[in-house]
Amino acid sequence: MCWRSPDLACTARCEPTGWSERCLTDRRAPASLGHFAGEPMSPRKVGSKWNTCDRRCSPTVRRGRVRRITHRAQTNNQHIIGGQPMRSTQTADFSGQTDYDAIIIGAGFGGLRAIHGLRDVLGLDVKVFERASDVGGTWFWNRYPGARTDTEGWAYCMYFDEELYSEWAWSERYPSQEEMLRYLNSVADKHDMRRSIEFETTVDSAVWDEQENLWRLTTDAGVEYTAKYFIPAVGILSQLLDLPFGGLDQFEGEWYQASKWPDHEVNFEGKRVAVIGTGATGVQLVPTIAHSASHLTVFQRSPNYVLPARNSTIDAYWSKALRSSRDRFFELCTQQTWGFPLTASTTTFDDVKNQDEIRELLDRAWESGAFHFVFEGFGDSFVNEEAARVTQEYLHQKIRAMVDDPATADLLCPNDHRLGVKRPPAGHYYYESFNRDNVDLVSVKDNPIATLTPGGLRLADGQEFGFDIIIFALGFEAVSGALAAMDVRGRGGVTIQEQWSPHPRSYLGIAVEKFPNMFMPMGPLAAGGNVPLVLEHTNSWIQNAIAHMRDNGIETMEATTEAVDAYLRSCVEAVEPTILWKDGQHVSSWFTRSNVPGAEPSPVLWFAGVGPYVELLSDVAANGYRGFEAHASALADSRT
């Protein structure tokens, strides 16, 4: 079956403006956050339309060239995020001699996009360090059986290359890991990116040199490199959580970390297999392994809402329509709260009159699949308790209809949180797998795994299981974990771990106070949702900021504490009225860091919408990079 987007169906019938008007103007916009369009910051204005779209955003940069920013006069409104325009302080004593202009860590989506912006557009001398043996980032490491995207390929991609967008024909609605890796290799090949990348190299430390005003990075080979700009594009789901139990050294069978899957085939035929963890990774592993293992046991701490992916192949006709729609999808995704290619529902719980209308609304969203169900059901499901409750009951009914055994179905129904509190996996016959005779589900919520044993594992109550293969899919310390695992030091020798205690903080998800010239393409509190889309906007902003520094003789630029504090408050205030925060503090969710042992719950991303986030990025830049402190070079001063 070939899946056809209803929005794309309009492409074949209408003029381009008609398609755009229908897809981009048939919904009401919520209030933006921050000082957009001259109004004071008011996160709580979002109200019942928290998960709908904002029409007022637009791309900040046209792909392929830097747009020179013309600064507007700064108002004195004290409610704006970031306060006053970028302050210029004492002259920096900059030697002007570094090994590279910019050093990037990571060669996934973020790192490859940064190469394009900094090297190919700005002409900087760029070096990239990548611990893997090739490009791909997440899609290099996550080779486990069944791995694929949960976002449509035509939205989960590089937008800067119009030619590649028009040439690349996605084979499926949700591309597999293999196809994603081929795609990213194609990006690297076309733009000759590998000449700037040193593979199989880990950066152990990055230290800001206050005397020389530059970054000193040391690799695992003990080699030091210097750069003016430090771009950690380390990924948001790359730092694995530690195993919460011991005994790994005594297990005599095969074991694998799903997100560090080996580059060879693992044979499950005739094997007793355990999958520990039922997040997005576990959900993708189970149906695939179930078909070949002699017996599969799934260990679940807490269930998730697994939405039907509705994956399908894409025929030539619809592929052509997709490949000619880059600008439309870029705008559509930018306006959608989490950056997905869909039109969010504006129907609130109070708009429906009876059970039949509720069923019709949710059935229609269910048939669309994946994140379409989240956003095409009730438009106020994130903030309206009744809408969230009814949606939860609907999903429980669906789970019980798909799973034959009532006891197993009960274990698979989440009761401690509502839809959206965790990122819901897109499933490919996950629930149906538990109807197989060779698949069992074991809950370890109240009876956790105590230890691994030579032949398998033992639970806290003493019950033992025997396995030939154990697969760990226990999740990540999301967003902040990879950078926090490094020795990164800013002004005064402060470490990133110290700066992020008790919880990560940033300005715009890009900058951290006391860490000059460090620009994170997807740091803590960047916009949540479709990561490649957000990276397009953040990398464009970083590209423009560095161009602004170069053109104005600015040697260092760092966020002020006041700006970071205000931005953090706006992130918290935006999420506080939602079930994501109300439930997310008490269940294991990487959205709120509640899955990290000992961590204080806090939002890890900006959940107020991609559109308002992009508008804020543009506003900060256009108002003199408000919220940043600048240090001009001695050379620049001598010219005045």
Break the chain into its structural domains and give their ranges: 6-239+478-638, 248-305+345-472
Q: What is the pLDDT of residues 205-244, one digit of tens each?
A: 999 999 999 999 999 999 999 999 999 999 999 999 999 9
C-alpha to C-alpha distance for 236 and 481, rounded to whole angstroms: 8
Q: Is pLDDT of 81 > 90?
A: no
The whole-number pLDDT of residue 475 equals: 96
Provide the pLDDT for residue 86. Answer: 72
Whether this model's pTM surpasses 0.75? yes
97 pLDDT band (50/70/90 cuts)? Answer: confident
535 band by pLDDT with thresholds 50, 70 and 90 = very high
Number of helices (H), then strands (E), in the chain: 21, 20
Which residues does residue 295 pair with via DSSP β-bridges, in sequence order? 272
636 pLDDT above the threshold of 90: no
Least confident among 70-79, 152-161, 402-411: 70-79
Contact status, residue 566 vs residue 34, Cβ threshold 8 Å = no
> In this predicted model, what pLDDT tens digit does every residue of 431-490 receive, in sequence order?
999 999 999 999 999 999 999 999 999 999 999 999 999 999 999 999 999 999 999 999
Q: How high is the pLDDT of residue 84?
A: 64
Enter the tokens of residue 523: 């740091």
CA 582/CA 588 separation, integer angstroms: 13
DSSP string over 315-340: -HHHHHHHHT-HHHHHHHHHHSTTS-
Q: What pLDDT does 619 receive? A: 98
Cross-strand bridge partners of residue 440 = 297
Amino acid symbol at 596: V
Is residue 593 within 8 A of residue 601, CB to CB? The reply is yes
Residue 508: pLDDT above 90? yes
248-305+345-472 shares the fold of 6-239+478-638: yes
Confidence of residue 147 (pLDDT cuts 50, 70, 90): very high
**What's the pLDDT tens digit per position in 396-413?**
999 999 999 999 999 999
pLDDT of residue 501: 96
- For residue 82, name the pLDDT band (cuts at 50, 70, 90): low
Summarised one tens digit per residue, pLDDT across range 21-41 is 223 233 323 333 333 222 333
Q: Are 89 and 631 in contact (CB under 8 A)?
A: yes
CATH superfamily of 6-239+478-638: FAD/NAD(P)-binding domain (3.50.50.60)
Domain 248-305+345-472 grouped into CATH 3.30.70.2860:
no
pLDDT at 328 over 80: yes
The least confident of 15-24, 199-208, 243-252 is 15-24
Q: Which two tokens stand for residue 467?
A: 């396995």
